[in-house]
């Protein structure tokens, strides 16, 4: 089943990159972008999230994360704060509105995980290994194209 979970994680990434239909259907992307939703997700999951931590988790530049966070601050979905012992570093936390989007995103992912896990039960471990290799190759292709695009933008 471990292979099925790996395949699932990759397929969800592929689905998010190629088709945001489910998020749009749920109304989640009416006012915010998919990148903003995922930034909210990492802020919600990370202890003392700052631009550097979010950048590392999302695989985006610090400048890109700064721009996304600025939009999220403007939309009232996150707020910034500083720790008393460290006035240099700026951290983020979800507001009530951000928590709502975070929760809806988690719900959508949970439903997608269950659907995919049911789907993969129809395949043997050997077949799942082949699917995992295939899905990993597709994901790597997307990653290399994203890296190329970021490099060209510099």
The correct answer on CATH 1.10.10.10 for the domain covering 21-136 is yes
Burial 50-89 (b: 16+ CB within 10 A, else e): bbebbbebbebeeebbeebbebbeeeebbeeeeeeeeeee
Share of the chain above pLDDT 90, in %: 45
In this predicted model, what pLDDT tens digit does every residue of 52-70 receive, in sequence order? 999 999 888 999 999 999 9
In this predicted model, what pLDDT tens digit does every residue of 6-33 receive, in sequence order? 887 887 777 766 545 555 555 556 778 8
pLDDT at 65: 96
Higher-scoring residue by pLDDT: 133, 13: 133
């Amino acid at each position: 089943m471990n292979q099925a979970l790996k395949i699932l994680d990759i397929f969800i990434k592929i689905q998010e990159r190629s088709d945001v239909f489910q998020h749009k259907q749920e109304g989640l992307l009416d006012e915010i972008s998919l990148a903003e939703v995922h930034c909210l997700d990492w802020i919600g999951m990370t202890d003392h999230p700052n631009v550097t931590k979010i950048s590392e988790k999302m695989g985006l530049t610090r400048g890109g994360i700064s721009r996304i966070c600025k939009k999220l601050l403007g939309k009232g979905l996150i707020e910034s704060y500083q720790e008393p012992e460290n006035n240099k570093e700026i951290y983020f936390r979800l507001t009530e509105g951000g928590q709502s989007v975070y929760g809806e995103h988690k719900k959508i992912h949970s439903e997608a995980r269950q659907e995919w896990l049911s789907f993969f039960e129809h395949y043997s471990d050997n077949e799942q290994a082949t699917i995992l290799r295939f899905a990993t190759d597709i994901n790597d292709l997307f990653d290399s194209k994203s890296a190329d695009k970021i490099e060209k933008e510099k």
